[in-house]
Structure formats: C-alpha cells, structure tokens
C-alpha cells in the first residue's frame, strides 16, 4: 500500500516579476508525497493562479481526494483528474520518483549523469525600460544566444526600441530573439504590430492575441510575416480530437508546452504527436515551478531530443527555492552531480 500526503508551499520572488497579467510577488505550489516500504516519491503540482484551467475553489479538495485514493494507481488517477492538469503532472512525477532508486532522477539520461546539457532561452521580464535593458545586458553577458522578451505591459514603441537596441548590437545570427505577448494585442491591431516586429528579425511571437479566438488566430497565422507560437491556446484542451482541430484550424508555426498546464508528461506528449503530424515545431517551457517541478520537466525534455532552445531557466527567480544540481551555464541548463538536493518541507 502507498501512503500519500500533500503540503502547500509559497515561493517568494527575489524581485517582483511583471507579466501582462500583472506583477508576481509570490507563487503557490503544492507537493505530493508518496511513501511505500521505506521509499519516498515527490511531485509538484505547479498550479498557476489566473492561468491554469484548474485554478478552482475545490483544488485542495481534489488533492485531498487523490491522496485518499492513491492506491487506485496512476492510470486511473490520471483519468479522474483530467480537469486538473497540474495534479496530473504531480501524480506522474510522484509515481516515477517513488519507483526510482533516486527520487530526483525520473528519466535517467546523459543529462542526469552530467554528460549533456539543454540549450535554453534567457527570459526578460516586463518592467520599465532601464530594468528591461539591464536584464538584456545580463543575459547576453551570461552567454545566452537565445533571448525571450515578454511584451505587452509597457508602451509598444518602448518595447520595440528595446528590441532595436538588441538588434543594433547583435545580429539574428548572434542572438535569437523571441517575444511573448501573453495575448496582449487586440485582433484589430495585432497584424500591424506583427509587421513592425517582423522588421527586427525575430524568431517568433508567442500568443499575440488572447486564447479562444480560433478564427482570428488562424487568420493571423495565415497573414503574419512573423512566425506565431501558440501557448495559452493549448490550456484547457483535453481531448485529442480537439487538439487536432486546433492545430489543423490555426496552423501555427510552433506550439509551446507547459507540462503543469497541459496535463503533465502524457498531455505534453499527446500535443507533440499532434504537432508533428502537422509539421508544427514545438518546445517545452516551465511555468514558475520550484526546482522539483523544473527538474522533472528538464529531464523529460532532454529525452525528447528537441533541437530548439527550451524555456527552462526559471528556478533562480525565487529566494526560497530548494537547492538542487540544476545550474544555468552559458545559456544551457546542466545537471551538476557535484551538487546535492536540499528538499525539506
């Protein structure tokens, strides 16, 4: 028999981090803990307030139900939690962790053996011009060759001037630039703004208009001079039929997958299968998890062998994260086995 429990944990940002949805100062998360015959397994839920489809009043009630019914097994529990993708993610992690000889090694690989790394993008958070410029300089100095800048919260012309500043110093062959609008543009203005951005040799733009506007997004993908990546558009889509319908209707250039938001490893893999059937490229991104969730996502991402830079460098944002072997080195995420885990709840 497996014994299950969960515990809430509040992550504190080192610096308030700006998005188009407002300023983030804290991030709630929950840890699922499984115990059996002296072994332990951990999983992080990764709920994202205001974004996760499972941001509902009975969230902890569902977690409690999962713990009471843990011996149904992972397959049945994943079916029972289909509307709670972050809980699905924690279940998959926790069962793999319990099964492993090392609770933090879910997918053994060259990455977990410290023999390989994962290229990642450097993330630029929203803020005033001087703050964003300082972040850009910091990421370039740290050796990132791919930078992702969140846009849509300050004046568009100011954001464009920041991107022009990068392009003046670094060509597209030197630094790949991605932008993430988080749905900040209206359908009426989006194409004009994409025309302006396309002159800056950007790699892509994430979610230029808000999710749920399928017809408008499809038209934008058809006309846009800049490749479009779907992100929020994938949240809350549970059936494989609906996933195929979205990809075939919108015809995006890329999709971006956050396991916490799309149903863990199995939900992510289903989206990847649909994308590849339709010649759509993809990459994987963390969603402000602690190092427990980030570790799981990174290990899973490595075994999928994507050649694109991934979005996996968020663990350093918090001042009360857990020490781990995860390190960012010259624009890549590495698993440094000379460092130890310090995970205490």
- Residues with a catalytic annotation lie at 150, 258
C-alpha 194: how far from its chain's center? 23
Query: How far is the C-alpha of 107 from the C-alpha of 53, rounded, in Å?
Result: 27
DSSP per residue over 88-154, as a string?
A: HHHHHHHHHHHHSSSTT-SS-STTTTTS--EEBPEEE-B--HHHHHHHHHHHHHTT-SEEEEE-SSS
Closest CA to 343 of 31, 120, 1, 12: 31
* CB neighbours of residue 40 within 10 Å: 13
CB 282 within 8 A of CB 259: no
Closest CA to 277 of 304, 312, 314, 245: 245
Structure tokens at 176: 């790949």
CB 202 within 8 A of CB 178: yes
What's the burial of 340, exposed, middle or buried (CB within 10 Å: 0-12/13-18/19+)?
Answer: exposed
């Amino acid at each position: 028999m497996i014994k299950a429990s969960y515990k809430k944990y509040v992550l504190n940002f080192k610096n308030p981090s700006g998005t188009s949805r407002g300023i983030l100062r804290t991030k709630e998360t929950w840890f699922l803990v499984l115990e059996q015959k002296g072994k332990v397994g951990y999983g992080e839920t990764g709920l994202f307030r205001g974004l996760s489809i499972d941001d509902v009043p009975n969230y902890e009630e569902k977690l409690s139900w999962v713990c009471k019914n843990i011996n149904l097994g992972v397959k049945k529990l994943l079916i029972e939690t289909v509307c709670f993708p972050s809980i699905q993610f924690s279940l998959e992690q926790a069962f793999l962790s319990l099964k492993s000889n090392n609770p933090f090694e879910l997918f053994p690989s060259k990455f977990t053996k410290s023999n390989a790394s994962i290229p990642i993008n450097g993330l630029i958070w929203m803020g005033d011009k001087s703050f964003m410029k300082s972040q850009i300089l910091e990421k370039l100095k740290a050796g990132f060759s791919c930078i992702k800048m969140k846009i849509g919260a300050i004046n568009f012309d100011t954001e464009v001037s920041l991107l022009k500043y990068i392009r003046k110093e670094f060509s597209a062959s030197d630094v790949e630039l991605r932008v993430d609008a988080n749905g900040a543009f209206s359908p009426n203005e989006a194409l004009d703004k994409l025309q302006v951005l396309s002159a800056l040799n950007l790699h892509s733009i994430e979610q230029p208009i808000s999710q749920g506007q399928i017809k408008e997004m499809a038209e934008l993908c058809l006309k846009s001079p800049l490749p479009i990546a779907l992100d929020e558009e994938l949240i809350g889509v549970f059936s494989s039929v609906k996933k195929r319908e979205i990809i075939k209707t919108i015809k995006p250039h890329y999709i971006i997958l956050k396991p916490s938001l799309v149903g863990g490893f199995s939900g992510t893999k289903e989206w990847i299968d649909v994308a590849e059937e339709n010649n759509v490229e993809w990459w994987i991104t963390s969603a402000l998890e602690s190092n427990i969730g980030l570790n799981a996502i990174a290990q899973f991402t490595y075994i999928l062998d994507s050649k694109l830079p991934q979005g996996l460098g968020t663990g350093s944002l918090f001042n009360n994260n857990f020490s781990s072997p995860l390190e960012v080195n010259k624009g890549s995420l590495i698993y440094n086995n000379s460092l130890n885990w310090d995970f205490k709840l």
